[in-house]
Structure 1
Amino acid sequence: MAEAFRGEFYQKVDAKARVSIPAAFRRILDADDKPRADKEQPHVYLVYGGRNRSFVEGYSKRGADDLADQIAAMELGSKARMRAERELISRSIMVELEPDGRIVLPPKVREKIGLTDGDLGSAEAAFAGVTNRFRLYSRKVYDAELAADADDEDEDVDPLALVGRSARGG
């Protein structure tokens, strides 16, 4: 696996719907999007599909291509493949980073994370690394989900034990 997206970052969303991609994430996006034409900036692929999701997932070019390859390997014409294509490929958008590391959040992305035009200029975005991709939330939604997760978690279970269970198939 390529370098993982790691960490939590909070960034202001300006009045023009621009937000800075965290520097650590930009380095991965840049490394995974070669070769490019001169002066062209790296791209981020924003997936806004999935009805039950309160976030948008961001992929590097390599990550987006890997996801597309996984979907292409599914049975052609199957209901699962058609849903995956619709939710993860059709309901996505490629955005080029500006030279200063910002992107403009497209309307569908803003809608998905619950940012209205009235929020622009005062809202914060939360970026959360999740291995081969990152999740983009509105800060309010991310904080609320973290609080809800804290209520649901078994305080006696070490998170490393969960990884061990997965590795053992249980």
Structure 2
Amino acid sequence: MAEAFRGEFYQKVDGKARVSIPAAFRAVLNADDPQKGEKGGARLVLVYGGKTRNFVEGYSKRGADQLAEDIEAMEMGSPERVRAERDLISRSVMVEVDPDGRIVLPPRVREKMGFAGDLAGEAEAAFAGFTNRFRLYRKEVYEAELAEDDEDDVDPLTLVGRHKRTG
């Protein structure tokens, strides 16, 4: 994996639901979408499905294509595939990064993040890198999740390598 989503960034969401994609993430998006979209910007897929998720997941064009291939490899008609298709494919939207490095958060994405109402004021989003994808949260939700996760006193390096992906 040459490029990866790494780091955490906080970005303002303006009254028109626009948010700047962190420059480090734009580099990954650009590398993973050599053809670009209609307006010349990198495309990304925002997945807002999954009722227990309190975030939106963002995939580069290449990452979204790989996710779709992985789902297509699942047994046709199986409950797992149907759920994956519904929550990860149907409940997703492709957006394009504008020349200023921003995207407009679509209505379903805003709703999932808790920005469904008026965006005037101090709305802020948190971007968190997860190597092949990133998560997009409302800032307060992300910080609360971090505070909860950090209470277990587990050294994360002890978790690495426990479960190796096969296939």
Mapping of residues 67-78 of structure 1, within 5 Å:
67-78=67-78
Of 157, 161, 169, which residue of structure 1 is paired with 2:158? 161
Distance 1:14 1:163, change over 3 A: same
Query: In the TM superposition, what whole-angstrom CA distance separates every residue of 1:33-90 from its partner, at most 9, and x where no partner exists?
Result: 0124785111110000011000000000000000000000001111111110000000
Residue segments in structure 2 that go unaligned for 5+ positions in a row: none
Contact 1:13/1:121 (8 A) holds in 2: no
Contact 2:41/2:98 (8 A) holds in 1: yes
Task: Report the RMSD for the aligned CA atoms in angstroms.
Answer: 1.9
TM value normalised by structure 1: 0.91
Instruction: Output the amino acid matched with 1:76.
Output: M
Tell me which residue corresponds to 1:60.
Answer: 60
State how far apart, in whole Å, the 2-side matches of 1:100 and 1:74 are: 39
Query: In the TM superposition, what whole-angstrom CA distance separates every residue of 1:134-156 from its partner, at most 9, and x where no partner exists?
Result: 000000100111111122x1x2x
TM value normalised by structure 2: 0.93
Query: In the TM superposition, what whole-angstrom CA distance separates every residue of 1:91-143 from its partner, at most 9, and x where no partner exists?
Result: 00000111000000001001001113324442100000001000000001001
Tell me which residue corresponds to 1:88.
Answer: 88
List 4+ stretches of structure 1 deviating above 3 A.
Answer: 36-39
State how far apart, in whole Å, the 2-side matches of 1:49 and 1:150 are: 26
How big is the shift at 1:23?
A: 0.3
Would you say how many aligned residue pairs link Structure 1 and Structure 2?
166
Tell me which residue corresponds to 2:103.
Answer: 103
Instruction: Output the amino acid matched with 1:160.
Output: L
State how far apart, in whole Å, the 2-side matches of 1:52 and 1:11 are: 24
State how far apart, in whole Å, the 2-side matches of 1:72 and 1:2 are: 25
Tell me which residue corresponds to 2:8.
Answer: 8
Distance 1:38 1:144, change over 3 A: closer
